[in-house]
């Protein structure tokens, strides 16, 4: 791919209601079935962002991640597991928008990347998804896959085109219940079968280019207009944030294995005059947060609705991306980067390779000393803000439009229309 810069990344990207009757649909119109690795209404990521916008173009069947009897042991809350079981028992299918149907599929066996388990789970999911497609009246859909264990479903759902949207180096994830070699094997099977691989980072794209001829880069984006609300002088700070004195060093997002709790603890100990505010769910096991939670200048505020996040960002003096720099981090393009930029907040990040082209807008810190100094510099002399045109190029609307244009070119025999 050559050298990656802010400019060439941007230019690459310039690029509950009743289910409709099957008889009312045009069989030649484009529709998408998305096999996701997330529940629709959990912490929003690229999957919900992209699909909600493609649903403005065509009909989408969003298939949520299936739960298993072990889901609660892997960081999924008991309430979420129970909710998904109940949704499946009640029929599994619901409308989240005029063109957006969500399927809660049949529960599956744990250890999903094991070859034997994967065969059984694929059989279960194939039956569940086919029933969902029939109920929703979908014919010849584009099969859009986020879940890396779904290779055996490719070619079995009557799809006209298939996409693997790879948002992480799944095999590098530190999960005791998933063996990295098995994860890579299932993911390789999947990539070998699809028509297109989309990667959210240059490292992901370079890896798949070695084995797949049709690969492209689409970095993560932001709901730019929503997060720009953080710049509104009339926007009121949340009550719980007002009670925390400035300077406030903030983080918004999941607190999971990527979050460098040791770094945050060291910074909090060094600077008791700063308050570190964390907004987001605790996701995963063995997070080692006990010492951090004991600090009086560290504040875990928990999950907040997406609509509330701009108000929290407005109250942050500096926003942080404190990810552990390991093998997984080499492939991460953090969702929160463009959200922070849209909010007009100074940003300090650990040394994630994907952010190097954006050093004009973010301080990159290779260790705790540099991170602390960068925070101080951001408080007194912040880096320049991003332009509106640059943010627009990196909005979810721009990403979805680029992907839609790709589908238009790739599936010429399908009548790609405004709505299906």
The lowest-confidence range among 175-179, 295-299, 326-330, 391-395 is 175-179
Superfamily of domain 224-389: Glycogen Phosphorylase B; (3.40.50.2000)
Q: What is the distance between the alpha carbons of residues 350 and 368, in angstroms, rounded to a whole number?
A: 9
Question: Is residue 400 predicted with pLDDT exceeding 70?
Answer: yes
Residue with tokens 């060094």: 270
Q: What is the token pair recorded at 361?
A: 């807008």
**Residue 175: what pLDDT?**
66
Comparing 80 with 112, the larger pLDDT belongs to: 112
**Residue 76: what pLDDT?**
65
3 state SS of 273: coil
**Residue 177: what pLDDT?**
66
269 half-sphere exposure, CB direction, 13 A CA radius: 12
DSSP H or E segment with residue 126: helix 115-136
233 pLDDT band, cuts 50/70/90, is: very high
Residue 408's CB is within 10 A of a number of other CB atoms, namely: 13
What value does the mean pLDDT take over residues 19-30? 45
The lowest-confidence range among 19-28, 89-98, 180-189, 248-257 is 19-28
What value does the mean pLDDT take over residues 39-59? 94
Q: What is the pLDDT of residues 272-286, one digit of tens each?
A: 999 999 999 987 655
Q: What is the distance between the alpha carbons of residues 112 and 150, in angstroms, rounded to a whole number?
A: 10
**Residue 70: what pLDDT?**
74
The length of the chain, given as a count of residues? 420
3 state SS of 65: coil
298 pLDDT band, cuts 50/70/90, is: very high
Maximum Cα–Cα distance across the chain:
66
Superfamily of domain 6-221+395-410: Glycogen Phosphorylase B; (3.40.50.2000)
Query: Whole-model pTM?
Result: 0.89
Question: Is residue 4 predicted with pLDDT exceeding 60?
Answer: no
Residue of 217, 253, 222, 191 whose CA lies nearest to 354: 217
34 pLDDT band, cuts 50/70/90, is: very high
**Residue 382: what pLDDT?**
95
Residue of 346, 340, 251 whose CA lies nearest to 298: 251
The lowest-confidence range among 204-208, 234-238, 324-328 is 324-328
User: Would you say the CATH fold of 224-389 matches that of 6-221+395-410?
Assistant: yes
330 pLDDT band, cuts 50/70/90, is: very high
**Residue 73: what pLDDT?**
61
**Residue 7: what pLDDT?**
37
8 pLDDT band, cuts 50/70/90, is: very low
Residue of 333, 404, 277 whose CA lies nearest to 45: 333
Say if residues 194 and 154 touch (Cβ distance below 8 Å): yes
**Residue 42: what pLDDT?**
82
What value does the mean pLDDT take over residues 329-358? 97
Domain extents for the chain?
A: 6-221+395-410, 224-389
Average pLDDT for the chain: 89
**Residue 12: what pLDDT?**
38
Residues in Cβ contact with 134 at an 8 Å cutoff, skipping those fewer than 6 apart = none
Residue of 126, 163, 170 whose CA lies nearest to 145: 163
The lowest-confidence range among 25-34, 99-108, 200-209 is 25-34
DSSP H or E segment with residue 349: strand 347-350
| Bridge pairing between strands 31-35 and 59-63 | parallel
**Residue 23: what pLDDT?**
33
Q: How far is CA 290 from the centre of its chain?
A: 27
**DSSP string for residues in 182-251:** HHHHHHHHHHHH-SEEEESSHHHHHHHHTT-SSEEE----B-HHHHGGGG-TTPPPPHHHHTSPSSEEEE
């Amino acid at each position: 791919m050559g050298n990656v810069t802010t400019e060439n990344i941007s230019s690459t990207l310039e690029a509950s209601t009743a289910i409709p009757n099957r008889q009312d649909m045009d069989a030649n119109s484009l529709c998408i079935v998305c096999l996701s690795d997330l529940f629709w209404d959990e912490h929003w990521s690229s999957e919900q962002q992209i699909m909600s916008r493609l649903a403005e173009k065509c009909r989408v069947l969003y298939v949520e991640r299936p739960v298993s009897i072990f889901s609660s042991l892997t960081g999924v809350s008991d309430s979420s597991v129970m909710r998904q079981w109940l949704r499946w028992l009640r029929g599994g299918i619901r409308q989240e928008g005029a063109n957006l149907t969500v399927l809660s599929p049949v529960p599956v066996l744990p250890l999903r990347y094991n070859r034997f388990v994967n065969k059984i789970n694929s059989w279960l999911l194939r039956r569940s998804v086919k029933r969902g497609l029939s109920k929703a009246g979908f014919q010849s859909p584009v099969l859009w896959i986020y879940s890396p264990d779904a290779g055996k479903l490719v070619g079995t759902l009557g799809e006209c085109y298939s996409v693997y949207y790879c948002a992480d180096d799944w095999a590098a994830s530190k999960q005791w219940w998933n063996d990295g070699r098995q994860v890579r094997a299932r993911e390789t099977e999947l990539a070998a079968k699809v028509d297109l691989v989309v990667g959210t980072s240059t490292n992901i794209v370079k890896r798949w280019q070695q084995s797949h001829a049709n690969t492209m880069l689409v970095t993560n984006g932001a709901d730019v207009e929503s997060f720009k609300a953080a710049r509104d002088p009339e926007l009121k700070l949340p009550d719980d944030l007002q009670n925390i004195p400035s300077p406030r060093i903030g983080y918004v997002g999941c607190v999971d294995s990527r979050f460098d709790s040791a770094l945050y603890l060291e910074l909090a100990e060094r600077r008791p005059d700063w308050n570190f505010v964390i907004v987001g769910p605790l996701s995963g096991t063995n997070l080692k947060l006990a010492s951090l939670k004991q600090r009086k200048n560290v504040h875990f505020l928990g999950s907040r609705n997406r609509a509330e996040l701009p108000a929290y960002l407005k109250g942050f003096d500096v926003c942080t991306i404190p990810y552990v720099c390991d093998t997984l981090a080499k492939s991460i393009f953090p969702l929160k980067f463009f959200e922070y930029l849209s909010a007009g907040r100074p940003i300090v990040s650990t040394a994630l390779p994907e952010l190097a082209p954006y050093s004009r807008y973010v301080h990159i810190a290779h260790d705790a000393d540099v991170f602390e100094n960068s925070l101080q510099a951001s408080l007194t002399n912040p880096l320049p803000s991003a332009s509106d045109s640059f943010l627009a190029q990196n909005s979810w609307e721009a990403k979805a439009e680029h992907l839609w244009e790709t589908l238009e070119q790739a599936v010429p025999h399908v009548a790609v229309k405004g709505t299906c």
